[in-house]
Chains A and B, each alone.
Chain A
Amino acid sequence: MGLTVETALLELLLRAFQLIFSMDSEVLDITLLSLKVSGTAVLIGALVGVPIGMVLGLKRFSGKQYLMRFVELTLRSIINTFMGLPPVVVGLAVYLLLAGSGPLGPLGLLYSPTAMIMTQLIMVVPIITGVTMSAVGSVEKAIREKALSLGATDRQAAWTVLSEARMGLLTAIIVAFGAAISEVGGIMITGGNIRWFTRTLTTAIVQEVNLGDFSKAIALGVILLLMAFVINLTLTIIQLRGSKR
């Protein structure tokens, strides 16, 4: 009994690696789409989230500016809450937005890679903003005062703070990409897992498991892991280099 399970597993793995190394054109298409969707979402997310995170990380309102402090605290809390948004809920919201009867229905974007990018974008912006905010905030006081004390203008000091927080910005990108590439619930709803069009690694894995084709699912899982590893490795190397500059 034990032997048959092991043989079956071995066979599954063997077929999985065959699939990976045969460069199956569908697997390649799926992989590239995953990269494109999550990469684009993170890129746009960084363009939006990094500046917001920087501003929020730099700005400290003093005790007497009650209104501004309230606004700041509210914003921070919103961002922290949204950092943990369930992807399925985001997917649902984007679906309702893009569905035929929804406000953006006429654009006809539902079940397209664009819809998927929109979904992941909504997910990653709070993550990137939040991590950037705390990275900037953690060096803000000491570095700013040091810079000012050495004769920097307010603007030069702010720039120095951001430059010192640069490693934190990379962390933000790493975390956001990790969340995006492994996400399945949101893009399943808004992309629809259409073959050769909106099928990604994660949605394909769900599909193959449902169909009972475990070796294909394993193959796709291995590719997903490898891809995440290579991208993280690259970013980590950049990060280490940067810290030893």
Chain B
Amino acid sequence: MAPITAVSGRGLPLRGDELDTDRIMPARFLRAVTFEGLERHVFEDDRKANPQHPFNNPAYQGVPILVVNKNFGCGSSREHAPQGLIRWGVKAIIGESYSEIFFGNSSVLGMPCFTADKASIDALQTLIEAAPDTVIHARVDTGVITAGTLRIQGHLPAGARDAFVTDKWNPTSMLLADFEQVKGTAAALPYVSGF
């Protein structure tokens, strides 16, 4: 792990609301005991159905920033969805909103999911559709996102933001740090002690 203070690079515009995790990673690719190779199947059915899908566009291969719309990652809790995106090369997402479970899964994997208002997202998508070489700079600490002459205000919840910049985004070691306190909380629960 390392602090994540900013993500920079080109962006992929992926328009559409309610892009669920079944779309991002169809369930048949969950038939495995590892996450290896999931990058090959990101949006596989959508890409096959639509040759113009941005994930098929050579201009966007391997870019680190996805720009999405509303309720991205809704539906199934499958971590295979953000795992696939990360293995494909995505390091941050900028969008109007996310499902809660997708946001949490992405955060513990070190992939910040910024939100911004609809007009800002539309402006950013329009910009990188017209000029795919545009480099986006997204700062985790201030939320400021710049791309060419465009400057938009992104947001991360304070907890997620602080976790990224202070290198605390993967919580396991923190959860294990004070195990006596965990045992104390458990012992005080009536159902743990057998009522």
| Chains A and B come from one and the same complex | no
- Residues of B with Cβ closer than 8 Å to A? none
